[in-house]
Structure 1
Amino acid sequence: MSNLTMTRRILAGLVLGLPLTLGAQAQDYPSKDLVHIMPWSAGGGTDTVMRTFMNFAEQQLGVGINTQNITGAQSGIGTLRLMKARPDGYTIGSLTWDSLITVPYYELVPGYSTEELAYLGSVTVHPTALVVSADSPWKTLQEFIDAAKAAPGELSISNVGSGGVWHLPALDFANEAGIEVQHIPYPDGSGPQREALLSGETDAASLSVSAAYPAIEAGQARVLAVMGDERDEAAPDVPTFKELGYDVVWGGFRVIAAPAGIAPEHSQRLQEAFAAVFEMPEFQARAEETGMGAVWMDGEATAAYLETAQERAFALMDNLVEQGLLEK
């Protein structure tokens, strides 16, 4: 056998063996528990929803997913930790509007770049809601507006951070309705925000229906209106702001990401597992019970969705800055 023939056979064997090696690596992954970075406080809406999702994802992956709450800078500290983690497929994180829009817009965290993220999929997409406590005097959005007009600057609406996902909708709403209200931030998340509403510390809260769902289900709070193009499936009897004559459409999302540089086969394995969660009857039942607004998009679709959301949000934020309604 000539040396040339021998070389060709060796090269052919290497080429044919390569997919088998990659396939074996993919089958071996994951071989240990994953770390799930949660950049919001324990007990809040995002923490509760994403812990629930990760519990189901554990069943699909066959390993544990250990959640770590790393808060601060409107989710920027935890998200930066995710960006800087080893891209070995064993660190993932849950991200929200603030992580991908507020923090980069205001440059809240040095060394922060969304280019350092690889998106794995979405879990929820939902409209902003205006929520009041059950014992408040306002039964409708118009009643709240009338009260605000009667006492300019006295009523308060809470959010989870100035310039963030829930603050901006409240600003836009106040501008559209011609009212002056106080905007009170609770940067540790929707858990403290919800408690402030129920204790009477604030008059209303700008947040998602899913974040308010425990209080709504317990009869402690009610939704006056939602900022979607259509009514929220979790609150079908609640009108949209548009129905009531206020052209205010805002919403949030919860997505999963990994550090940029994650191996394609690891990304694919995770996306397949996360997509499979949405096919589980137990998850669908849980999603309906909690009103989490479950919506699945794969990594590519999520990236396109977020690019559009960021462009739209930045334009609206620039407009609010020009009007003097928002500081940058």
Structure 2
Amino acid sequence: MECKKVAALVLAGAMAVTTMAGCGSAGGSAKYPSKDISVIIPKAAGGGTDTAARGLMQYMKENLDGANFVATNKPDGGGVTGMVETSAAKADGYTLGMVTVELAMFPWQDKCQVTPEDYAAICAPIAAPAALIVPADAPYDSVDDFAAYCKENPGTVQVGNSGMGAIWHVAAVSFEKEFGVELKHIPYPNGSADIAAALTGGHIDATIADPSSYKSQVDAGEMKILGVMSEERSSIYPDVPTFKELGHDLVIRAWASLVAPKDTPEEILTQLRDAAKTTCESDEFKEYFEKQGIDPQCIIGDDCQKMMEDDYAMYEDLLKDIETE
């Protein structure tokens, strides 16, 4: 598998760097941090994960004395390279990384072998829910209306996604299973911009995706959101019901978590988690995220680790019957 080759190369490189790093660690009584902290972002610049990571670093450095975060984007392999490199880094607190929901999915799709157990979670500033989004003039105004329409038109309702086996395709398949309907899945590999154009142009009927990617169209009255697959209502769209409220236990979220390699010293993790908590609870941080159309989250330490591990277990079952490319 290509993933295994990538992982082997990254691991070898990380071992070499670790050997050369020598006495630059944060061990013993040395103050932490005493040098720059590298943060590996496994997605391209400008996307939701990158925006969340850079926003978190911007405000978190104010709450961690002496901290200076240096971000590096490593999106190769759909994020595999960056996540593997983070897991293989020296566990001294000076190399952190963002890991995304794909971490919980890739092992079950035979794309990579790293799992949540390879990291120590610090915080998740974002956990965007899947949302059912349709054109504003669509003939349905609720989740149940849409499901009824799908039942009346089996296999013909076209739902856009960013790729077969990707998070939003999985969300749509979960919808099918929950409501006993059959959808026609239409992949748009270039993502939300193409899906938005297809929706407004009447080429597809719906998408199930992160609502922040469609905020401008929703605000302009071109699209409407029928429901979100989250535990609680969105702070950005407080009038939109959750699927749970409607009696459907569907929670699908696209999270991005700041993590350290496993075995990072507990005293360093405590400093990072405390700084992250103070940051995520601040009004400035929340306002920054809301301006980006993102629901800010404050999922810290053990709670973040549990979220990642819970989703890892969930996707083992969900992905068994889902075809990928």
Q: TM-score range by the shorter chain?
A: 0.7 to 0.9
SS of the residue corresponding to residue 234 of structure 1 reads coil
Residue 167 of structure 1 and its aligned partner are, at CA, apart by 1.8
* 2:127 alignment counterpart: 125
Letter in 1 for 2:240: V
Letter in 2 for 1:128: A
Say if 1:204 and 1:272 are closer, same or farther in 2 by CA, change over 3 A.
Answer: same
Say if 1:96 and 1:218 are closer, same or farther in 2 by CA, change over 3 A.
Answer: farther
Paired-residue identity, %: 31
* 1:249 alignment counterpart: 251
* 1:81 alignment counterpart: 85
Aligned with 2:31 (options 26, 29, 32): 26
Give the conservation status (yes or no) of the 8 Å contact 1:118–1:262. yes
SS of the residue corresponding to residue 31 of structure 2 reads helix
Aligned with 2:241 (options 239, 242, 246): 239
Q: What stretches of structure 1 move > 6 A for 4+ residues in a row? A: none
**RMSD between aligned residues:** 3.2
Say if 1:190 and 1:65 are closer, same or farther in 2 by CA, change over 3 A.
Answer: farther
The CA distance in 2 between the partners of 1:215 and 1:54, in whole Å, is: 29
Query: Number of residue pairs matched?
Result: 298
Give the conservation status (yes or no) of the 8 Å contact 1:155–1:181. yes
Letter in 2 for 1:104: P
- Stretches of structure 1 that go unaligned for 5 or more consecutive residues are 1-20
Letter in 1 for 2:304: T
The CA distance in 2 between the partners of 1:56 and 1:254, in whole Å, is: 17
Give the conservation status (yes or no) of the 8 Å contact 2:116–2:312. no
Give the conservation status (yes or no) of the 8 Å contact 2:61–2:67. yes
Alignment of 1:69 with 2:73, yes or no, is yes
SS of the residue corresponding to residue 75 of structure 1 reads helix
Alignment of 1:93 with 2:97, yes or no, is yes
Letter in 2 for 1:300: D
Say if 1:30 and 1:203 are closer, same or farther in 2 by CA, change over 3 A.
Answer: farther
Residue 306 of structure 1 and its aligned partner are, at CA, apart by 2.2
* 2:42 alignment counterpart: 39
Give the conservation status (yes or no) of the 8 Å contact 1:40–1:188. no
Give the conservation status (yes or no) of the 8 Å contact 1:94–1:254. yes
* 1:283 alignment counterpart: 285
Say if 1:231 and 1:177 are closer, same or farther in 2 by CA, change over 3 A.
Answer: same
TM-score normalised by the chain length of structure 2: 0.76
* 2:228 alignment counterpart: 226
> Which digits, 9 at most, give the CA deviation of each residue in 1:167-219, with x for residues without a partner?
22211212333433222345566566556545656432222233433443454
Say if 1:155 and 1:296 are closer, same or farther in 2 by CA, change over 3 A.
Answer: same
The CA distance in 1 between the partners of 2:34 and 2:197, in whole Å, is: 38
- Stretches of structure 2 that go unaligned for 5 or more consecutive residues are 1-26
Say if 1:305 and 1:141 are closer, same or farther in 2 by CA, change over 3 A.
Answer: closer
Residue 229 of structure 1 and its aligned partner are, at CA, apart by 4.2
Give the conservation status (yes or no) of the 8 Å contact 1:44–1:189. no
Say if 1:189 and 1:86 are closer, same or farther in 2 by CA, change over 3 A.
Answer: farther
> Which digits, 9 at most, give the CA deviation of each residue in 1:82-102, with x for residues without a partner?
223333423222222212x11
Say if 1:131 and 1:49 are closer, same or farther in 2 by CA, change over 3 A.
Answer: farther
Give the conservation status (yes or no) of the 8 Å contact 1:37–1:93. yes
Counterparts in 2 of 1:103-114, with a 5 A limit?
103-109=106-112, 112-114=114-116
Say if 1:241 and 1:276 are closer, same or farther in 2 by CA, change over 3 A.
Answer: closer
User: More deviation in 294-303 or 181-190?
Assistant: 181-190
Give the conservation status (yes or no) of the 8 Å contact 1:39–1:78. yes
Residue 30 of structure 1 and its aligned partner are, at CA, apart by 4.1
Give the conservation status (yes or no) of the 8 Å contact 1:122–1:295. yes
SS of the residue corresponding to residue 184 of structure 1 reads strand
